Amino acid sequence: RADSVDSNTKTIHTKLNDLKIDGIQDLEAVTAEMVRLIETASVPIFAVDVDGHVNGWNTKLAELTGLPVDEAIGKHLLTLVEDSSVDTVSKMLELALHGKEERNVEFEIKTHEPSMDSSPISLIVNACASRDVRDSVVGVCFIAQDVTGQKNILDKFTRIEGDYRAIIQNPHPLIPPIFGTDQFGWCSEWNSAMTKLTGWRRDDVIDKMLLGEVFGTQTACCRLQNQEAFVNFGVVLNTAMTGQESEKIPFGFFARNGKHVECLLCVSKRLDREGAVTGLFCFLQLASHELQQALHVQRLSEQTALKRLKVLAYIRRQIRNPLSGIIFSRKMLEGTNLGEEQKNILRTSAQCQRQLNKILDDTDLDSIIDGYLDLEMLEFKLHE
């Protein structure tokens, strides 16, 4: 009976040992596969022991930082991160070693290869505590995401946004008049140059509809000349809002004091960090005093020319009516019995009538005033 018990005990121990060996082999296989996955992962992964020394550094992170795996192993993690990130990483490491795993922590890690860009790599990291079979924390594994490109774009956007603000709020006289809208068409920007130009303060126009309340045809702050100007302005704004670039266009409105302002309008779309259009910036380019004088003279010349054309049209109409009567009478006479001398008079009359018609058909007013006329070449006989 005792032999039977011993035999059963040995059998049980043998099976337990076999299970243990199988378990160890399975664990080794799983561990080897995990190591392979970490080393070949397309995201940066690294690990440290309880003292903060690196004991894992995958290929992706080596590519990003320029620090090979064999050189990274054994270094303290805090010596590899940027000085500005030391406190953040130290706190995250300490919490993870106590079992509290932080997620989506952003910090910067140094680059080490001279040929690479000297700027650091920005990572967003999830910390994962590594535990032994007794569930004791023996290290920390960090799974990261490289966000350097996105951060650079965001920094650039922030700088541009800051530049916009600095320009708009700058009272320097060289800064042009600038106003803007949000994506819904409400006035969101109105700099000091616009206040000086229009007579309307920023508080008078902000949060009003740019098209209709700020610039419109009747009760708007800055009244446009007519309905056509209102429609054209709306087309320009809508075109820019859809992302299409617009050329500088002539633009005019009446300021608060009733003075008509003429300028060039340039509309530029405003983008957010994702590249979506969030509004518009409008820049006004005012003509110099000399150019304004030249434009005024040009307008006066155009008005004078228009008046002269109206007078010419009236004179032409007053002459053409009796001339038509004379031509009709001549054609009636041509069908009658006339002597040779009378026929010559009719032919001369026809030539004069054609000459008058040619003058009346001429639309070049300056040539008429100066007495110039295009010559017409025809054959004729001397006895005529």
pLDDT in tens, 243-291: 776 667 888 899 999 998 888 888 888 877 677 888 888 888 776 565 5
What pLDDT shows up at residue 219? 86
Q: How confident is the model at residue 53 (pLDDT cuts 50, 70, 90)?
A: very high
As a whole number, the mean pLDDT across the chain is: 78
Same CATH topology for 45-146 and 156-286: the answer is yes
Alpha helices (H) along the chain: 2-40, 59-65, 69-72, 86-97, 148-169, 192-198, 202-205, 227-241, 289-334, 340-361, 365-370
- Are the beta carbons of 144 and 44 closer than 8 angstroms? yes
Within 13 Å, how many C-alpha atoms sit on residue 12's CB side? Answer: 6
The torsion angle over the Cα atoms of residues 40, 41, 47 and 53, rounded to 10 degrees, is 50
| pLDDT, greater one: 86 or 26 | 86
Residue 2 has pLDDT above 50, yes or no: no
Spatial separation of the C-alpha atoms in residues 143 and 45, rounded to whole Å:
5
Report domain extents, the chain.
1-40, 45-146, 156-286, 308-370
Q: Is 208 exposed, middle or buried (0-12, 13-18, 19+ CB in 10 A)?
A: middle
Give the lowest-confidence range in 148-152, 182-186, 218-222, 368-372.
Answer: 368-372
- Residues 182-238: pLDDT tens digits? 989 999 989 888 999 999 999 999 999 999 999 998 888 999 988 988 999 999 998
Residue 5 has what pLDDT? 41
User: How far is residue 22 from each of residues 28, 183, 228, 336, measured CA to CA in Å?
Assistant: 10, 66, 87, 136
- Residue 136: pLDDT band (50, 70, 90) is confident
Measured between alpha carbons, how far is 320 from 55 in angstroms, rounded to an integer? 106
pLDDT band at 31 (very low <50, low <70, confident <90, very high): low
Residue 104 has pLDDT above 90, yes or no: no
Distance of CA 89 to the CA centre of its chain: 38
Query: With bands split at pLDDT 50, 70 and 90, how would you rate the model's confidence at 33?
Result: low
CATH superfamily of 156-286: PAS domain (3.30.450.20)
Residues 304, 300: Cα–Cα separation, whole Å: 6
Q: What is the CATH number of domain 45-146?
A: 3.30.450.20
Q: What percent of the chain has pLDDT over 90?
A: 14
Spatial distance between the Cα atoms of 313 and 223, rounded to a whole number of angstroms: 35
Amino acid at 266: C
Mean of pLDDT values over 358-375: 66
The more confident residue out of 246 and 26 is: 246
Residue 243 has φ and ψ, to the nearest 5°, of 100, 0
Which pLDDT band holds residue 363 (cuts at 50, 70, 90)? Answer: low
- Neighbour count for residue 120 (Cβ, 10 Å): 18
Instruction: Give the neighbor-by-neighbor strand order of the sheet with 54-57.
Output: 54-57, 45-49, 137-146, 121-131, 105-109
- Residue written as tokens 């209102």? 230
Measuring CA to CA, which residue among 333, 368, 179, 335 is closest to residue 266? Answer: 179
For residue 322 the two structure tokens come to 């009796």
What pLDDT is recorded for position 366?
A: 64
Query: Quick check: 99 and 129 in contact, CB under 8 A?
Result: yes
Residue 329 CA to residue 322 CA, distance in Å, equals 11
Highest-pLDDT range among 111-120, 148-157, 174-183 = 174-183
